[in-house]
Amino acid sequence: MSWIDAARAAVAAGEPALLVTVLALQGSAPREPGARMLVLADRALGSIGGGHLEFAATASARRRLGQPADRRAGSETVALGPELGQCCGGKVRLLFEPLAAGDAGWLRDWDAASAEDAGAVLVRRLAGDGAAARALPPLVLRVDEIAAAALPAEIRRHALALLGQAAGPALVEGIAGDEAWLVERAAPAPDRIHLFGAGHVGAALVQALAPLPCSIDWIDARDELFPPTLPTAVRRVAATPAEAVAAARPGAFFLVMTHSHPLDLEICELVLRRGDFAYLGLIGSETKRARFVGRLRARGLAADLVARLTCPIGIPEIGGKHPAVIAVAVAAQLLQVSEQIRARAPLPQGRAG
């Protein structure tokens, strides 16, 4: 369960909860601005970096949870030095925000904006003494709503600027005297992965991908190959390969590793003809790739389109053939491609066979 799912559930149940957000860094630190951790009375979800930093932040959050009459948000700057038992050498500024029933709306809207890649920002006005202040209800604004929102001109500029970059939150202080504003871009939606094949490698790959920021549709007609329970991020899809490919959203990742080479070829052709995919990976050797390229070209697909087929799959520096090793190599390659996309770098072509 993600921190936002847990936050929505806690708010709905009236369970005391506090959100810890990395606001800013100086020097080296274990996590980036925007990293979050949700702290509840008996557990914590998400991470702001682990180690003593997270231990100290969790303790501070629980102290705040023990003072329910105090509904103020507050910030703390933590030095990551010997006194904290860490050697990063930098400083981290953390925002602590208690959550209550009134936060259900923006949590819902924020979750939806992230899932839809809606190009939205979250704007929070902190009233009082800068960042150590009572948080007023946040606003989730799509790009076409920013200009009409009742915001100071400087905050509107920050909101529009953040839509053009993958930056962390911006804390703007000194607005109208003692106010501070926090402006943040919606997190990108998790990568959507469509995995065809529930054999040994497919099963290992699901386990490797499940903890990562992605959602996985797992497609195979052989019911007996699926485990009785699946990780939260994994959905068993009862559809034909053609239906699954047609239903996929633009920008999806496809991994093809079925029990049948003709079926593999059919799926690859369907994905390539769509053209709007982020990644198409086919399990197999360079010889298999060469044969598939020839057959796909014979079916009328352009050379530059077929060149986007990645086969063999996985980063080449990991060459083991054990299913778990292949899974790690493929997961690493998907992370590389995902980061290139988010940085707006060109997609890599498949390795030549």
| Percent of the chain surpassing pLDDT 90 | 42
Q: Are residues 205 and 331 in the same domain?
A: yes
CA distance 191 to 115: 10
- Give the residue with greater pLDDT, 200 vs 109: 200
Answer yes or no: do 198 and 283 share one domain. Answer: yes
Residue pointed to by tokens 């915001």: 151
259 and 134 part of one domain: no
Mean pLDDT of 37-55: 88
Final residue of a domain: which of 185, 210, 235?
185
Q: Are residues 211 and 287 in the same domain?
A: yes
pLDDT attached to residue 49: 83
Residues 327 and 197 in one domain: yes
Beta-carbon count within 10 A of 143 CB: 13
Residue 349 covered by a domain: no
* pLDDT confidence tier of residue 132, bands split at 50, 70 and 90: very low
Selected residue with higher pLDDT from 101 and 332:
332
Whether 225 and 202 share a structural domain:
yes
User: What average pLDDT score do residues 54-66 get?
Assistant: 89
- Asked whether residue 121 is domain-assigned, the answer is yes
Q: Which residue has the tokens 């003494």?
A: 129
Neighbours of 183 (CB within 10 A): 25
DSSP calls for 254-287:
EEE--S-HHHHHHHHHHHHHH---SEEEE-S-HH
The reply to whether 17 falls in a domain is yes
- For residues 166-182, average pLDDT: 70
Amino acid residing at 36: R
pLDDT at 20 over 70: yes
For residues 206 and 172, which has the higher predicted lDDT (pLDDT)? 206
- Asked if residue 57 belongs to a domain, the reply is yes
Among 134, 152, 185, the domain-final residue is 185
pLDDT in tens, 80-100: 765 555 555 578 888 888 888
Are residues 213 and 261 located together in one domain of the fold? Answer: yes
In a shared domain, residues 244 and 274: yes
Instruction: Give domain status of residue 104, yes or no.
Output: no
Residues 6+ apart with CB under 8 A from 84: 52, 53, 56, 78
pLDDT band at 119 (very low <50, low <70, confident <90, very high): confident
Q: Which of 185, 207, 222 represents a domain boundary (last residue)? A: 185
Quote the number of domains for the chain: 3
Tens of pLDDT, residue by residue over 208-267, are 999 888 899 999 999 899 999 998 889 999 889 999 999 999 999 999 999 999 999 999
CB proximity list for 132: less than 8 A, separation 6 or greater: 72, 73, 74, 75
Note whether residue 248 is domain-resident.
yes
Closest by CA to 220, choosing from 268, 270, 255, is 255
Q: Are 61 and 82 in contact (CB under 8 A)?
A: no
Residues 141 and 74 in one domain: no
Task: Give pLDDT, residue 348.
Answer: 42
CATH number at residue 255: 3.40.50.720
- Say if 110 falls within a structural domain: no
Q: For 25-34, 67-76, 154-163, 267-276, which range has the lowest pLDDT when averaged over its residues? A: 67-76
What's the pLDDT at 295? 97
Residue 87 sits in which domain range?
Answer: 3-99
- pLDDT the model gives residue 122: 84
Question: 129 and 92 in one domain?
Answer: no
Higher pLDDT, 106 or 314: 314
Give the model confidence (pLDDT) of 103-115 as tens digits. 898 888 888 877 7
Residue 350 lies in a domain: no
**Length of the chain (residues):** 353
Same domain for 310 and 212? Answer: yes
Task: Tell me: pLDDT of 131 over 80.
Answer: no
Given a cut of 50, whether residue 345 has pLDDT beyond it is no
Q: Are residues 195 and 333 in the same domain?
A: yes
In this predicted structure, what is the pLDDT of residue 218? 97
Kindly tell me if the per-residue pLDDT of 22 is higher than 70.
yes
**37: three-class secondary structure by DSSP:** strand
